[in-house]
Amino acid sequence: MADNNSIEQSFEKLEDILSELQSGELTLEESFKKYEEGIKVINKSRKLIEKIEKKLVVIEEEQEIKV
């Protein structure tokens, strides 16, 4: 994929963020920052997924035309 981060990398990042949040070792401020970072990763992942879904629709439509 041409994007800098793949969906898999985004999911790994989210797992890391969740682990840090669940560790109980972060201050409240650090937790808020990690939460905000997680939301950004989720939004980026959602956009990547939507982009892939659109490509799949195009591929399916092309296949239907060929049949």
Do the domain assignments include residue 43? yes
Q: Is residue 2 part of a domain?
A: no
Is position 29 within any domain?
yes
Per-residue pLDDT of the chain (67 residues; tens, 9 = 90+): 344 568 999 999 999 999 999 999 999 999 999 999 999 999 999 999 999 999 999 999 888 887 6
Nearest to 45 by CA among 17, 5, 15, 18: 5
Q: In terms of Cα–Cα distance, which of 54, 32, 41 is closest to 4?
A: 41
Domain count, the chain: 1
Structure confidence at residue 58 (pLDDT)? 92
* Residue span of the structural domain in which 48 resides: 7-66
